[in-house]
Structure 1
Amino acid sequence: MDIQHATAWFLAYAGRFRQQDARDQENIDLKIHHSLRVLAEAEKLAEHEAFEPHIAFLTQVGALLHDVGRFRQYDTYKTYSDPLSVDHGDLGREVLEAEQVLEDLEGTDRAIVLEAVRLHNKKQLPDNLDEHLGMITRAIRDADKLDIIPVVLASVAPGAPDNPVIRLGLSCEPDRFTRSVLDQVAAREMVEYTSMRFVNDFKLLLISWSYALAYGWTRQQMLARGYVDRLFELLPATEIFVHLREGVIRDLQGGFGDEKPE
């Protein structure tokens, strides 16, 4: 297997889920393009973090295939909300095993990619991950987050076309947010999807991802691309959010002290 053959399989598989409705097809296309961009982000991350070539290759395969479960999820449930449907990481592993697309990989490598796909969307990773599995899974998670943030930013910016699938059906009330969501971010915790009620909560969830970035290159990109600033610009201009922004930027610049985030 090489990345070109994996990409050809991925595109052919996604093509099985062509939708009759134009909006539904847009949502399928969204995940196709997202997966290809996550592959590109993972390639850059592996290069900047000096992954050895074989680990970089497995990272690329996992990045390309990380959301393969999304197609069946959307085809069946017409949503990308896991709480309202199925866990798309678990489903992705199931798809890859059923399709036997990784059969050309050596057994250990195949197991790593399958488990990385299963784990990529989990709130926290197990503490006892194998070294290579941990490296690859964290890289995929970082690359995934780097690409999702601008997609959501484009959908929640003032005047953007409304797509309830992207905003997860959350209420669009410009000044409202859930206090428990804000408290989770202030405590440097990942926001629980089930806590969200408003689109501002979704923005806060994306900000909380700052604390889940595992690699220095990804944290640098989060700042260099202006994602933190743009997210806070879309939140109410109150003192509490000004202070929160200062703390998030300070933590990103400082690399979270001596603790390695999940």
Structure 2
Amino acid sequence: MPELPEVETVRRGLEKLILGKKISSIEVLYPKMIKTDLEEFQKELPGQIIESMGRRGKYLLFHLSDKILISHLRMEGKYFYYQDQVPERKHAHVLIRFEDGGTLVYEDVRKFGTMELLVPELLESYFLSKKLGPEPTEQDFDLLTFQKALKKSEKPIKTHLLDQTLVAGLGNIYVDEVLWRAKVHPVKSSQKVTKKEAKAIHEQTISVLEQAVNKGGSTIRSYTNAFGEDGTMQELHQVYDKAGLTCSRCGSIIEKIQLGGRGTHFCPRCQRRS
């Protein structure tokens, strides 16, 4: 958490709150969060105007006057906007103040989130260096390319989907949901995924993430959008966090295993390993 749907929901919220605002000052309370030069970061941001908000995979993009601020929320990152006085916040680590008196506050309980400041010309090479896969849309996520990539890897299909090279934006929650819908066991080797199964995974990736965006993401523990509101996609989860409950499709008991250090949920009957 957050995954693509949550980041997209945050992007849409910030788009309504801060577009056109001019940054007057920046306060960094946890310097390790800034992955480019801290002095330059603090010097360059004041005077910049928020021109637009973008997203690439799980990365949030602030398109400024002549720079791009890249923010990765990691596990617990959140943004809150205050028009007037900012309340005392224990986990506030970056405060972006605007000329109109408003303040955008980045909070992160675990302090795993990151921020980087780039010139626009370096954005494409930045994501190339991350080996980030295509966006999960019909236009960008090509089925044939996806099938070919699967055949080159012995990784378990869940692990492969999580590494962001096949398609951008999937995390632990939505991979479990996608594989349940596609009826593919999470441990199955990518090489052994059939063309039919690959097509199902491809279709369900697009469908699940689109549905999650429309539901405002999933609130499992602490996620909220930029307005402090919970998402509702968790109400439609079929396997994630459902261990010990019955599968809505076949009635079998949902199981949970550890795979690559991640809790993994699946139905042993619907998602047979062989």
Same fold (TM over 0.5): no
**Which structure shows the bigger proportion of residues in helix conformation?**
1
- TM-score (normalizing by structure 1): 0.29
**Which structure shows the bigger proportion of residues in strand conformation?**
2
Q: Which has the higher contact order (CA 8 A, sep 6+)?
A: 2
Larger radius of gyration: 2
